[in-house]
Amino acid sequence: MAHHQQQSRAHLTLSDRLYDIASNVYNNYTARVFLIAIITIWAVMTFTFALVRLMPGNPLDVLIEQILTAEGVSYQEAYDRVAASFNIDSDATTLDQYFQWLGDLLRLDLGTSITSPGTKVIDEIARFLPWTVFAVGTGLLISFVLGIFAGMPMAYYRGSKLDHILSFFSSFSTGVPNYIWGLLIIIVPGIAWRWFDIGALRGTYDAGLTPGLNAEFILSALEHAALPVFTYVIAILGTWMLSMKSSTTGVLNEDYVNVAEARGLKERTVISSYVGRNAALPLFTQLTISIGFVLSSGVVVEEIFVYWGIGHHLFQSITVRDYTSLQGVVLLLTAAIVFSNLFADLTYGLLDPRVRVSGEK
């Protein structure tokens, strides 16, 4: 009897503990949104796992078709050779593959590439990811800073020639997609005017250099990133300018700005401490969320400039139906977007005391 009661208490204790954990997670905002983020990522990845396998063609078909067209052998022979080359276990069911993949993922193992057997997906991501983060991230930051500085005078001098010119540029910049800007840069200054050798600026750095913290490599990387970064800046800049103009215009009508001016504060102080800071706040949230989209926004630009980052790798994985590589990249993109939103949620209170105070109440 005593033994039974001990067991029952242990059982209740475990249940209680689980209940406590669930309650704590539910009642704790940070834990709750974090859990939702994890569930979101799992759902997206499961959907992706199914979706890529529903796409027409598979990794074997792609190569089989090439062999059939080039050599005219029988389908069976082409299939056998490709299967040998890939070393694929074609007998594994989709469900087996899913649980295998999920199990590996829990051990943080993204598997190996299907089309390049033996190459780890994580190594491929490590090869391509930094260049996208560098180029798109730099473009995003430059455009953000420029947008803030250009957007404020647009609001201050709204209706002036400066406002009209900058507003026209902003609308034009926003309306033209980044790949059109990329093509224009290649065709006009590159081919028509011959300002630079297109080929020499391709790639992420010059051949023969070893990546590292040395001046030659850093300068080379900067030179090769110039065109993609310029493209990202010019394509995104207009959005920040218009957002900043709109935000500043709203702040200029606030009472505290009028009070500050009435108190006789210097114009520079009013602009920087009263208008600028408050107008830029909503843009910080927008910037934080944009960071999540950094990784996925450069697919076409990376192709145009042959500046291979994670966007190119995603495109290549889709083209050859490399399921494992594709899943690895999609996981990365999903996690980036979900966690950047999470980050924005959790940090906005730190940036805006009004939100923090309101939350505490």
CB under 8 A: which stretch of 7-15, 67-75, 100-108, 339-347 binds other proteins?
A: 67-75
- Please state, as a whole number, how many other Cβ atoms lie within 10 Å of the Cβ of residue 325: 27
Rounded to a whole number of angstroms, the minimum distance from the CB of residue 251 to other proteins is: 16
Instruction: State which of positions 234-263 bind other proteins (CB under 8 A).
Output: none
Site string for other proteins, 84-123 (x = CB under 8 A): xxxx-------------------------x-xxxxxx--x
Distance CA 217, CA 24 (A): 50
Count of chain residues binding other proteins (CB under 8 A): 74
Rounded to a whole number of angstroms, the minimum distance from the CB of residue 249 to other proteins is: 15
Rounded to a whole number of angstroms, the minimum distance from the CB of residue 59 to other proteins is: 9
Distance CA 51, CA 164 (A): 47
CA distances to 251, 254, 265 from 257, rounded to whole Å, are: 8, 6, 10
Complex with other proteins: residue 152 or 283, whichever CB lies closer: 152
What's the per-residue H, E or C state across 253-273?
Answer: CCHHHHHHHHCCCCHHHHHHH
Q: Quick check: 282 binds other proteins (CB under 8 A)?
A: no
Per-residue b or e along 64-99, where b marks 16 or more CB atoms closer than 10 Å to that residue's CB: beebbeeeeeeeeebbeebeeebeeeeeeeeeeeee
Token representation of residue 48? 């992706």
Instruction: State which of positions 178-237 bind other proteins (CB under 8 A).
Output: 186-187, 189-191, 194-208, 210, 222-223, 226, 230
Rounded to a whole number of angstroms, the minimum distance from the CB of residue 82 to other proteins is: 8
Which residues contact residue 171 at a Cβ distance below 8 angstroms, ignoring those fewer than 6 apart?
238, 242
Complex with other proteins: residue 206 or 352, whichever CB lies closer: 206
Instruction: State which of positions 292-321 bind other proteins (CB under 8 A).
Output: 303, 306-308, 312, 316, 321
Rounded to a whole number of angstroms, the minimum distance from the CB of residue 260 to other proteins is: 17
Task: Tell me which of 35, 41, 105, 146 binds other proteins, using CB under 8 A.
Answer: 146
Q: What are phi and psi of 120, to 5 degrees?
A: -75, 140
Mapped onto helix, strand or coil, the DSSP state of residue 120 is strand
Question: For tokens 């944009």, what's the residue?
Answer: 290
Instruction: State which of positions 2-41 bind other proteins (CB under 8 A).
Output: none
Rounded to a whole number of angstroms, the minimum distance from the CB of residue 312 to other proteins is: 8
